[in-house]
């Protein structure tokens, strides 16, 4: 067995962005085992639904935000461009409410050898997209990301000039030659109906104002905060409009360096549990238990070619209902909104956007916090040994509940009471043999968020429940084949699973419940053949199924890749008659077989 250990050490050549567990191979190492034919640029994809404007919409009206080649951009200022609402949006004459769909498109090419790079796109300090680049190949790669940014309509339509900023810290030298050539484009679609039939303003439409909770330009970095350890709190000072009647904080988060693979950490790396906490003037008001995004250079980069990991090109964001806490922030004074990461190891990139709904006919709303209850976070790791003294087994569990209720009185909606309750559970097992021959991580994060808005009689005006679960399975096995050869197999399975049910409009509860269901399940494996400690060849493949069911459309895709080829691809936009995925069984047949 010591032989295996030696081989693994040789596979896991540390790189400039190495994690302590060396779950990264450099692009140069990968080139050795990537023996696939390589004569044309390859298109990489993240499996996602196509974005369709509502029926009758006009458009798209497309505007190139910026076009740039990201060469040596590390520690340089973000690339910026001036923004003012496109002429077609101004001509639509109805401000933000003219927009039926807004799509931000990132399209890029790269050729050569390069690491995956994290990047962000901000408009007026508000983050619109967090993403990771595809790792290139000598003859090039091309990929694009389209994100629905309709919820930022007020920002897109705001009169006056603003600034678009893109930070993508890339390093170019003799060995890492890849320059990322990228275009960022906004596509707008417009409602067919004229302004006079405009929907009544509602807290279920895009927010009236969006306020960034990020760092301000100028700086030589992204606008995100960098959280480096468990005691690090990074915050922004915010003055809230005093006629705010609803607040939702949207959080962007990504993890890098020593915490890129936090879910594999043992107690000496602060264990595998991580939680982003949101602090308002130092008090805990919300939390994010993140989906374990794996970037395109993670674990084994071949796993993410050509089908990239869930969320890697379009990182998930997390919404936190802060309306019950309005009484703390309506005084016209500055308040500190901060982020921390429980158990953090260097480094987490976190920022947020405050989506604010304002009372149209008053300059001030009044509010009071009625109840607040945050159970202490329970997190513990137990360690045990198996396989004689050779194996270590870690079991970590955590749970948390944050519940707050408050009323707000406005001229638009009267006196309404909002109850926002979030519960989280987390379980992680990590088994590995002490000689480094095998490691298996199995983790599940479950998050529930419930929001109920009631009037003075207790009648429900709006309700939303969201159930998310994020299973993760990572397995690395090394097998000695002959005295000179060994095979290392990496298997990664994940799911992004979310069901959201909403009902009511804030001014009336009399709308039927709307259910949105998403189950995105991916399993991939790569076999690397080693000879005398050097990777000589590899075979790999991915299977993914994506199913979305929602009132605005359904989408199903089932796709399989082998090496760089797509060998099976089936999709449709049929909504099942009986829209109950639960009844059909939401078992994880894709992830249990491999
Ligand atoms: C960016 O846009 C320019 C001008 O339309 C085009 O020539 C170039 O090929 C585009 N680049 C990418 C990566 O799409
Ligand atoms: C906005 O920018 C445009 C183009 O750069 C410029 O012509 C215009 O004067 C600016 N408007 C304001 C209000 O600064
Ligand atoms: C945590 O990070 C902050 C910000 O970089 C730094 O000021 C502080 O010294 C660090 N604390 C510890 C215990 O390392
Ligand atoms: C709003 O309603 C709550 C009870 O639901 C009540 O305690 C509070 O006084 C009311 N506020 C105003 C301004 O009427
Ligand atoms: C808020 O909702 C949660 C979950 O439904 C419930 O357990 C809690 O009792 C409610 N709080 C108040 C003050 O009504
Ligand atoms: C992961 O653990 C869950 C229980 O927490 C179990 O149901 C599941 O089968 C495990 N997955 C694998 C692949 O072992
Ligand atoms: C070892 O890895 C190579 C390359 O991926 C593969 O072709 C071969 O089938 C593997 N052998 C075994 C026994 O898994
Ligand atoms: C996806 O396609 C594979 C064939 O490649 C099939 O075995 C599997 O059952 C399909 N999955 C679903 C959910 O349709």
**pLDDT for 176-202, tens place per residue?**
999 999 999 999 999 987 654 445 567
Residue 464 beta carbon below 6 angstroms from any ligand 5 atom: no
φ/ψ region of 301 (left if φ > 0, alpha if ψ in -120 to 50, else beta) reads alpha
Taking residues 417-446, report their average pLDDT.
91
Going by pLDDT thresholds of 50, 70 and 90, the confidence category of residue 480 is confident
Closest ligand to Cα 593? 6
Find which of 258-262, 382-386, 535-539 is predicted with most confidence, using mean pLDDT: 258-262
Is the shortest distance between the CB of 321 and ligand 7 below 6 Å?
no
Q: What is the rounded distance in angstroms from the CA atom of residue 369 to the CA atom of residue 364? A: 17
Q: Is the dihedral of CA 523, 49, 289, 262 positive or negative?
A: positive
Atom 1 of ligand 2 has which residue's CA nearest to it?
Answer: 161
Tokens of 116: 């995956």
- pLDDT range class, residue 436, cuts 50, 70, 90: low
What are φ and ψ of residue 100, in 5° steps? -95, -25
pLDDT at residue 1 greater than cutoff 90: no
Q: By the 8 A CB rule, do 167 and 120 touch?
A: yes
**What percent of the chain shows pLDDT beyond 70?**
89
The answer to whether residue 261 scores a pLDDT higher than 80 is yes
* Residue from 370, 372, 403 whose mutation best tests the ligand 5 pocket (most atoms within 8 A of CB): 403
Q: Exposed, middle or buried, 480 (CB in 10 Å: 0-12/13-18/19+)?
A: middle
Contact 463, 503 (CB under 8 A): yes
Query: 313 burial class (0-12, 13-18, 19+ CB within 10 angstroms)?
Result: buried
Report all structural domains of the chain as residue ranges with CATH numbers, in order of start.
5-40+199-583 (2.60.120.230), 46-197 (2.60.120.230)
In the sheet where 534-550 sits, what is the strand order?
A: 366-386, 391-410, 414-433, 438-454, 460-480, 485-504, 514-531, 534-550, 553-562, 565-572
Ligand 5 centroid to Cα of residue 420, in Å, is 8
pLDDT higher than 70, residue 153 = yes
Helix (H) or strand (E) holding 91: helix 87-92
Give yes or no for residue 7 having a pLDDT over 50.
no
Tokens of 25: 């191979």
Q: Is 301 exposed, middle or buried (0-12, 13-18, 19+ CB in 10 A)?
A: buried
pLDDT attached to residue 87: 96
Confidence label for 512 from pLDDT (cuts 50, 70 and 90): confident
Question: What pLDDT, on a 0 to 100 scale, did the predictor assign at position 344?
Answer: 97
Compute, in angstroms, the gap from residue 273 CA to the centroid of ligand 8: 33
* Region of 204 on the Ramachandran plot (φ > 0 left; ψ -120 to 50 alpha; else beta): alpha
84 lines ligand 2 (CB under 6 A): yes
In whole angstroms, give the CA distance from residue 522 to residue 557: 12
Separation CA 510–CA 507 (nearest Å): 9
Question: Which residue owns the Cα nearest ligand 6 atom 3?
Answer: 442
Positive or negative torsion for Cα 286, 289, 293, 297: positive
Pocket lining: 75 vs ligand 3, CB cutoff 6 Å = no
Ligand 2 pocket test: pick from 84, 87, 90, 163 the residue with the most ligand atoms within 8 Å of its Cβ. Answer: 84
Residue nearest to atom 2 of ligand 7 (CA): 529
pLDDT band per the 50, 70, 90 thresholds, residue 505: confident
Separation of alpha carbons 424 and 289, rounded Å: 7
Answer whether 135's CB lies under 8 Å from 93's CB.
no
- How far is Cα 205 from Cα 186, in angstroms, rounded to an integer? 20
- The minimum-distance atom of ligand 4 relative to the CA of 456 is 5
CA distance 175 to 190: 47
DSSP E strands, 481-513? 485-504
Distance between CA atoms of residues 232 and 254, nearest Å: 16
> For strand 180-190 and strand 58-70, is the pairing parallel, antiparallel, or unpaired?
antiparallel
Which pLDDT value is given to residue 387? 66
**Residue 83 CA, ligand 7 centroid: distance in Å:** 53
434 pLDDT higher than 80:
no
Which of 215, 227, 229, 340 to mutate to test ligand 3, by most ligand atoms within 8 A of the CB atom? 229
How many C-beta atoms lie closer than 10 Å to residue 574's C-beta? 9
Nearest CA to ligand 4 atom 13: 409
Dihedral (CA of 113, 115, 118, 124) sign? negative
Pocket of ligand 5 contains residue 421 by CB under 6 Å: yes
Best residue for ligand 8 mutational test, from 558, 574, 588 (most atoms within 8 Å of Cβ): 558
> Could you tell me how far CA 95 lies from the centroid of its own chain?
29
What pLDDT score does 33 carry? 67
pLDDT for position 532: 83
Do residues 508 and 461 make contact, with C-beta atoms less than 8 angstroms apart?
A: yes
What pLDDT does residue 555 have? 98
The alpha carbon of 70 and the centre of ligand 3 are apart by a number of angstroms equal to 31
Residue closest to 126 by CA, chosen among 244, 16, 207: 207
Residue 9 pLDDT exceeds 60? no
């Amino acid at each position: 067995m010591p032989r295996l250990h030696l081989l693994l050490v040789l596979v896991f050549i540390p790189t400039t962005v190495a994690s302590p567990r060396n779950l990264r191979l450099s692009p140069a190492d990968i080139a050795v085992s990537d023996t696939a034919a390589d004569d044309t640029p390859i298109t990489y994809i993240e499996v996602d639904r196509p974005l369709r404007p509502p029926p009758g919409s006009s458009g798209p009206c497309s505007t190139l935000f910026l076009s740039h080649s990201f060469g040596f951009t590390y520690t340089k200022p973000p690339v910026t461009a001036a923004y003012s609402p496109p002429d077609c949006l101004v001509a639509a004459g109805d401000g933000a409410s003219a927009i039926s769909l807004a799509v931000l498109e990132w399209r890029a090419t790269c050729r050569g050898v390069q690491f995956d790079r994290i990047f962000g796109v901000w408009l007026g300090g508000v983050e619109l997209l967090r993403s990771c680049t595809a790792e290139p190949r000598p003859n090039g790669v091309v990929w694009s990301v389209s994100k629905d940014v309709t919820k930022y309509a007020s920002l897109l339509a705001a009169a006056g000039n603003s600034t678009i900023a893109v930070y993508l810290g890339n390093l170019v030298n003799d060995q890492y030659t890849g320059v990322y050539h990228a275009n960022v484009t906004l596509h707008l679609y417009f409602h067919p109906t004229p302004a006079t039939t405009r929907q009544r303003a509602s807290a279920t439409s895009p927010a009236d104002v969006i306020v960034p909770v990020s760092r301000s330009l100028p700086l030589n970095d992204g606008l995100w905060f960098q959280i480096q350890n468990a005691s690090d709190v990074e915050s922004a000072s915010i003055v809230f409009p005093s006629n705010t009647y609803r607040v939702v904080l949207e959080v962007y988060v990504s993890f890098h360096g020593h915490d890129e693979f936090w879910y594999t950490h043992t107690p000496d790396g602060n264990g595998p549990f991580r939680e982003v906490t949101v602090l308002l003037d130092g008090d805990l008001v919300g939390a994010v238990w993140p989906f374990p995004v794996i970037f395109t250079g993670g674990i084994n980069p071949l796993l993410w070619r050509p089908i990239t990991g869930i969320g890697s090109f379009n990182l998930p964001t997390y919404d936190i209902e802060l309306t019950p806490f309005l009484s703390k922030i309506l005084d016209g004074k500055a308040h500190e909104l901060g982020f921390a990461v429980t158990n953090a190891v260097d480094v987490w990139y976190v920022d947020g956007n405050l989506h604010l709904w304002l009372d149209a006919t008053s300059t001030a709303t009044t509010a009071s916090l009625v109840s607040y209850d945050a159970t202490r976070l329970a997190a513990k790791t137990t360690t045990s040994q198996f396989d004689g003294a050779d194996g270590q087994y870690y079991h970590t569990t955590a749970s948390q509940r944050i519940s707050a209720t408050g009323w707000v009185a406005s001229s638009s909606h009267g006196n309404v009471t909002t109850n926002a309750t979030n519960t989280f559970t987390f379980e992680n097992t990590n088994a590995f043999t002490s000689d480094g021959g095998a490691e298996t991580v199995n983790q599940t994060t479950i998050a529930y968020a419930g929001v109920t808005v009631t009037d003075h009689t207790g009648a429900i005006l709006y309700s939303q429940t969201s159930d998310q679960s994020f299973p993760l399975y990572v397995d690395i096995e090394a097998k000695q084949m002959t005295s000179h050869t060994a095979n290392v197999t990496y298997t990664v399975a994940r799911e992004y699973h979310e069901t959201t049910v909403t009902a009511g409009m804030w001014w009336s509860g009399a709308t039927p419940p709307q259910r949105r269901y998403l189950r995105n399940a991916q399993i991939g494996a790569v076999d690397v053949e080693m000879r005398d400690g050097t990777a000589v060849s590899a075979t790999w493949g991915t299977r993914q199924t994506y199913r979305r069911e929602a009132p605005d459309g359904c989408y199903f895709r089932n796709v399989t890749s082998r090496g760089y080829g797509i060998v099976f691809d089936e999709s449709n936009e049929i909504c099942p008659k009986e829209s109950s995925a639960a009844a059909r069984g939401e078992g994880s047949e894709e992830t249990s077989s491999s």
